Structure 1
Amino acid sequence: MTTATPADTGPPPTPTEPPLPRIVRAMAVIERAGNALPHPFWLFWILSGILGVVSMALAAMDVSVVSPGDGKTVTVQNLFSGEGLAMAVSTMVENFATFPPMATIVVVIMGVAVAERSGFLAALMRVSISRVPASWIVFAVAFAGTVAHVASAAAYIILVPLGGLAFRAVGRSPILGIVVAYTAIASGYDASPVPTPNDAIFAGITTAAAQIVETDAYVSPLSNWFFNIVSSLVLALVITVMTKLVLSKRPDLDADPDAELDDIEKLQLGADERSALRRALIALLVALVLLCAVVLPSSSPLRGEGGGIAESPFLDGIAAVVAFLFGLVGIIYGHRAGSIKKAGDVPKLMMQGIMQMAPVLVLFFAIAQFLAYFDWTHVGDVIAVKAAEALKTSGVPIVIVFLLILALLTLVNIMVTSGSAMWSIAAPVLVPMLMLVSVPPETTQALFRIADSGSTAITPMSPYFLMALGFLQRYRKNAGIGTLASYTLPLAIAMTVVWTLLFLAWWAAGIPLGPGAPVR
């Protein structure tokens, strides 16, 4: 009797991999699409080419509008005409030299560079989160993230790893500290209680856009200051609440057992650093008192006509004032801490700061040409006037317009993470359009701040997203893009929603956005 053998069914089937989470797939799509975009420098030259084609078509149709600024009729000019070519060649250097943010950002960066590279800003961040009780650690790190924007990109390098250390020091998950610090910086990037280089850049671009409608328009770097102060506090509170209610409930907050953990002692300041920081802060306080003593009297030479502050030498020179204050604290701190040993070290630190800004300055060259072409062709006038007329006749509430603009810019920000690049594209259309329906340029700029910040923490197109992921992988080696995005997504959504509600409430209440900057 023979025993039947089962039929040969071949090798056992290979187990199928579980499907990737949706957020991982979505981030991969965003990354591929973003990588397909050209560098922002070339993007603006491509936009200039598109502008030339549009201007040629509109000029051929003899399209014109009545300028609301002076009542004159302006007709679209062809950028590809002989006159357009002559303009482009003859004004190229002047466009770059007179680009509004150009000189302002260089001056501000020289002062900020001294404060940063002397070690003052890093010491200030360390001391601000090293001595708070455990119950306040989330708020402290989140608020420090909004203040850290004065250090521009260095904020990520300094504060994100410090966030992990600070949480470890109070017995909480360092992964949570990394996420809180990174999201506070990224999704709250344009909300800072202290004036930052970004304020100077945005104000310059907004000024250039506003001058399409009003040739003498001027937007100060402090035009959103009041709104920024309140925004930074509100966003820190949102992060605190969402961390407690959502992120702290996650089961995957423990570091790998074999993770190489940084020494918590890095949070502590040495005796020389503490002394240097104390002296620098005292000097800052004295300087602020003296500045108030000079500016507050109505007869002050730094006040404007009739003793006003809104249009005054003080606000006109606010970039120099900010640079001086940063330079002062940096020099005093550096001298005591030993990072500045002689007077010649100070200009060296300034030069290092300017070198760090080289990519931005190169981008400014392309942006300056595009904005000059946009102004010369009068395409911006046509778009602004026609869009404003459409808004008036449609009867759409301005609040709905705000929300639509915010949604559009938030989506664009996922792909174009450079704030200066995105605002340079959007401002020449949005600022004049909304000015023609009685929305001040400062208000449009405040709306842009929300869109430029909210989605930054979730997009892999930001180089700082990958930097934060590297810090996260110190504690969890298998963390990927989807891991970090899943942590930051609830925070980013909540911050954007609450920040938008704050803006709408501010608009409804009619509170000034900054010195001499009415919201409506």
Structure 2
Amino acid sequence: MVVRLLRVIERVGNLLPHPFWLFVILSVVVVVFSAILEASGLGAENPADGEYIAVQSLLNPEGFQRMLTDAVENFVTFPPLGLIITVMLGVAVAEGSGLIGAAIRVIVSRVSRKWLTFTVALTGVTGSVASDAIYVILIPLAAAAFKASGRSAVLGAVVAFGAASAGYNASLLITASDPLLAGISTSAAQLVEEDYVVSPVANYFFSAASAVVLALVVTLVTELLLVKMTERMRHEEDASGGAATAVLSAGRESAQDRAEDGAITDDAELLSYSRREVSALKASLLALAVFLVVYFTLLFLPASPFRGEGSDVLESALLTDVAVPIALAFLVVGITYGIKAGTITRPGDIPELMARSIKELSGVIVLFFAAAQFIAYFGWSNMGTVLAIEGAQVLEQLDLPAGVLFAGVVLLVATFNFAITSGSAQYTLMAPVLVPMLMLVGTSPEVTQMLFRIGDSPTNIISPMSPYFALVLGYLQRYYPKAGVGTLISLTLPVALALLVSWFLFFMLWWAIGIPLGPGVPVR
């Protein structure tokens, strides 16, 4: 039943155009509907200042001229664009130097059998700092580590995939998703409040705590349920010797392409690391410690030039514009590791690694051009503001308890995620309505952003639209040749449901206590 349902979702999802064309189509829809709604006299009174806001038609000479003259400005001022490129310049050096891969190998290889599941789960959740590369690094490594410890390699692959994909929006570290989503939230919030800015670290406190909670949940589901489900597979793995060839789907993301170029290799080789790599990791940890000392000194020092107005720490540029410090942190540790490990031998290697990140972001940049136009048209037409006001009035009349309202948002996002697996594309589509609407009923953009993250991640692992669904199936078939789509879904569905429910309940507990979501960001 579940498999048939997911196959229907896959067929329906395949009917959707590429996200770029989806935003182009939606931009045209906004232009057409703006004329229709203006003609019908649709508008609403802004409860904040009593001003009447009417829908403005873009289907006129002035609208067409604005679309042409402002197209470049819409793109270059799209908040997520600069943020994601800046952060990825640093992350690319850390990844390209081999730091992230070596750290994961050392962590997983050295842990005891007792703590293996939790370690892989926590590494997977936090591994989103490496973006999509976490899949091709951790999944085969976890499978090899589980097999070496006498457990099922299939189980290891599922734990790694479940944690990395379903827990993608939580992390002990700041990741590229933080400034990306913050930029989209800022654009949406400014439809209601012109100067509103969502910080890239707005969700950090809750996200870091969530990483530990989600790792624990993955561990419990694994040990209490998945171990039994994979016990039969382990005996067949032993019989086959894990020699089956992995079938990888071509034409996927760049990270997956790297897997096809040789990510699946000998198990012993996957688990090995050199003394030089360990030495380089120690040097990079020391560099990180020095960086953090300097950072927090500049943040809290009374005479620091980076203090905010009135010496307010929370208004410091080091927090309000944290994308640059994040990029610098990755840059410092990446360069330190690379020099010590010998992967960076000349100054020219560093910009070359940075350039590689821009190449990998090319698809995102193309998508952002179309998304930026859609957001701009939506704002010019006032459709988003009017819809938000009308929606907020409906919510006020319903007078739903906060828990019910929040649960509805999470379930809506989780449902959409089956068809649109790109988190940035989905949030760009939903934020212009969700963020302003919830702002008008007293829910901050930072809370709405966190609710999106909770709904977005868990269903990734059961969505056949995910490009990594086929990748993981390939890894499973290496050790268990009989594995099919049903096998993967049966193993990942319990993880998805457990994480969706537990993460939301953890958020409600956090919200009830009133703990800040991030620095200077109250949850209520």
TM-score range normalised by the length of the shorter chain: over 0.9
Structure 1 stretch displaced more, 73-82 or 136-145: 73-82
Match of 1:274 among 272, 275, 278: 278
Q: Would you say 1:346 and 2:325 are equivalent positions?
A: no
The residue aligned with 1:78 is 57
Match of 2:44, SS state, is strand
* Alpha-carbon separation, structure 1, partners of 2:335 and 2:24: 41
Q: CA deviation at 1:262?
A: 2.7
* Alpha-carbon separation, structure 1, partners of 2:399 and 2:447: 20
Q: Would you say 1:356 and 2:360 are equivalent positions?
A: yes
CA contact (8 A) 2:233 2:480 kept: no
Match of 1:460, SS state, is coil
Match of 1:223 among 181, 197, 202: 202
The residue aligned with 1:253 is 233
Match of 1:492 among 484, 489, 496: 496
Q: Would you say 1:189 and 2:168 are equivalent positions?
A: yes
The residue aligned with 2:327 is 323
Q: Would you say 1:117 and 2:96 are equivalent positions?
A: yes
Write out per-residue CA displacement over residues 310-359 of structure 1, whole angstroms, 9 at most, x where no aligned residue.
Answer: 32211133111011110111111111212111000000000001100110
The residue aligned with 1:411 is 415
Q: What aligned pairs does 1:430-445 form with structure 2 within 5 A after superposition?
A: 430-445=434-449
Write out per-residue CA displacement over residues 149-191 of structure 1, whole angstroms, 9 at most, x where no aligned residue.
Answer: 1110101111111110111222111110000000001100100
Write out per-residue CA displacement over residues 6-52 of structure 1, whole angstroms, 9 at most, x where no aligned residue.
Answer: xxxxxxxxxxxxxxxx2332232122111111000000111112222
Q: Would you say 1:94 and 2:94 are equivalent positions?
A: no
Write out per-residue CA displacement over residues 373-405 of structure 1, whole angstroms, 9 at most, x where no aligned residue.
Answer: 000000011011111111112222232111111
Structure 1 stretch displaced more, 131-140 or 68-77: 68-77
Match of 1:252, SS state, is helix
CA contact (8 A) 1:284 1:329 kept: yes
Q: Would you say 1:465 and 2:469 are equivalent positions?
A: yes
**Paired residue type of 1:401:** L
Match of 1:446 among 438, 445, 450: 450
CA contact (8 A) 1:68 1:213 kept: no
Write out per-residue CA displacement over residues 424-473 of structure 1, whole angstroms, 9 at most, x where no aligned residue.
Answer: 11110011011111111000000000111010011110001111111111
Write out per-residue CA displacement over residues 63-114 of structure 1, whole angstroms, 9 at most, x where no aligned residue.
Answer: 2223345543221111222221111111100000000011111110000000
CA contact (8 A) 2:75 2:373 kept: yes
* Alpha-carbon separation, structure 2, partners of 1:169 and 1:322: 36
**Paired residue type of 2:233:** L
Structure 1 stretch displaced more, 214-223 or 161-170: 161-170
The residue aligned with 1:39 is 18
Q: Would you say 1:399 and 2:378 are equivalent positions?
A: no
Match of 1:146 among 106, 125, 132: 125
Match of 1:203 among 169, 182, 185: 182
* Alpha-carbon separation, structure 2, partners of 1:165 and 1:449: 30
Q: 1:471 to 1:288 in 2, by over 3 A?
A: same
The residue aligned with 2:153 is 174
**Paired residue type of 2:8:** V
Match of 1:38, SS state, is coil
Match of 1:246, SS state, is helix
Structure 1 stretch displaced more, 239-248 or 390-399: 390-399
The residue aligned with 2:260 is none
Match of 2:479, SS state, is coil
**Paired residue type of 1:46:** I
* Alpha-carbon separation, structure 1, partners of 2:191 and 2:513: 28
**Paired residue type of 2:122:** F
CA contact (8 A) 1:309 1:515 kept: no
CA contact (8 A) 1:175 1:472 kept: yes
CA contact (8 A) 2:291 2:329 kept: yes
The residue aligned with 2:305 is 301
Q: Would you say 1:370 and 2:349 are equivalent positions?
A: no
* Alpha-carbon separation, structure 2, partners of 1:299 and 1:384: 43
* Alpha-carbon separation, structure 1, partners of 2:216 and 2:268: 26
Q: CA deviation at 1:219?
A: 0.3
Q: Would you say 1:474 and 2:453 are equivalent positions?
A: no
CA contact (8 A) 1:384 1:432 kept: yes
* Alpha-carbon separation, structure 2, partners of 1:395 and 1:163: 47
CA contact (8 A) 1:176 1:253 kept: no
**Paired residue type of 2:34:** S
Match of 2:178, SS state, is helix
* Alpha-carbon separation, structure 2, partners of 1:180 and 1:197: 23
TM-score normalised by the chain length of structure 1:
0.94
**Paired residue type of 1:150:** V
Match of 2:438, SS state, is helix
Q: CA deviation at 1:278?
A: 1.1
Structure 1 stretch displaced more, 256-265 or 385-394: 256-265
CA contact (8 A) 1:96 1:364 kept: yes
Q: CA deviation at 1:265?
A: 4.1
CA contact (8 A) 1:199 1:221 kept: yes
**Paired residue type of 2:180:** I
Q: Would you say 1:162 and 2:166 are equivalent positions?
A: no
* Alpha-carbon separation, structure 2, partners of 1:426 and 1:204: 14
Match of 1:74, SS state, is strand
**Paired residue type of 2:9:** I
The residue aligned with 1:16 is none
* Alpha-carbon separation, structure 1, partners of 2:198 and 2:145: 39
**Paired residue type of 1:253:** M
* Alpha-carbon separation, structure 1, partners of 2:314 and 2:437: 24
The residue aligned with 1:509 is 513
* Alpha-carbon separation, structure 2, partners of 1:398 and 1:81: 42
Q: What aligned pairs does 1:44-63 form with structure 2 within 5 A after superposition?
A: 44-63=23-42
Gaps of 5+ in 2: 244-264
CA contact (8 A) 1:27 1:482 kept: no
* Alpha-carbon separation, structure 2, partners of 1:476 and 1:170: 17
* Alpha-carbon separation, structure 1, partners of 2:75 and 2:269: 47
